[in-house]
Amino acid sequence: MLIDGPVGNLEIECTGNRGQETSVILCHPHPSYGGSMDDLVLAEASGCCQKLGISHVRFNFRGVGASEGRHDSSDAEHNGEVEDLKAVLSWMRTEFRAERVIGIGYSFGSFIINRGDQLNLFNKSILIAPPNVSMSFIFDNPQQLSDIIYGEKDTYIDPRKFPSHAKLRVKTVKDGDHFFYGSYGDLSAQIMSSLTEEY
């Protein structure tokens, strides 16, 4: 379906019912490299939400699929994809009426979720394969609940850059690369634990 976005329609796909305590919003990889809401890693995350009965929304950033507009800057302080996220989140809060929202992003999508963390958009974030070698991630809010999930063989990630504080948990997927080929089972197990475990 299509909803109003900052520069035109945004294409979304939603699963679940109104009135649930928790809802999840999912952000896809980089549009310039074929990223879309149909990404296989996001499909794994969506499947985890379905198994747990959690309402969730996937959407295409501007310029992807039926979403109008063009891709904005990848690493700017304020970029268009963050505005897209805010628009979908606003729609989601109205439709699902959830008291608690979890943001899940994969690769570039994790960068956008991390930017949303700085705006206090989520109760919790799950960053899958955040490419901190090429993009700047900010973890300066010690109260923000965040999980990082990455593959042990992911060359886009430098785990030494992840800070250490009580509200940030770092989880690894054994033998996983940036795309988690052959590691979807372990990835799903980590996502499931992040969705259900308390800090």
Q: Exposed, middle or buried, 108 (CB in 10 Å: 0-12/13-18/19+)?
A: buried
Q: Which of 132, 95, 119, 110 is nearest to 194 (CA)?
A: 110
Tell whether the model's pLDDT for residue 41 goes beyond 60. Answer: yes
Task: For residue 86, give the CATH number of its domain.
Answer: 3.40.50.1820
Which residue range forms the structural domain that includes residue 46?
2-196
pLDDT, one tens digit per residue, over 90-145 is 999 998 888 899 999 999 999 999 999 999 999 999 999 999 999 999 998 878 89
pLDDT the model gives residue 148:
98
Backbone angles phi, psi at 35, to 5 degrees: -65, 140
d(CA 60, CA 85): 10
Yes or no: say if 168 and 139 are a contact pair by the CB < 8 Å rule.
yes
Does pTM top 0.85 for this prediction? yes
Query: Residue 74 above 80 pLDDT?
Result: no
Tokens read off for 44: 């794994």
Based on the structure, what is the number of domains in the chain? Answer: 1
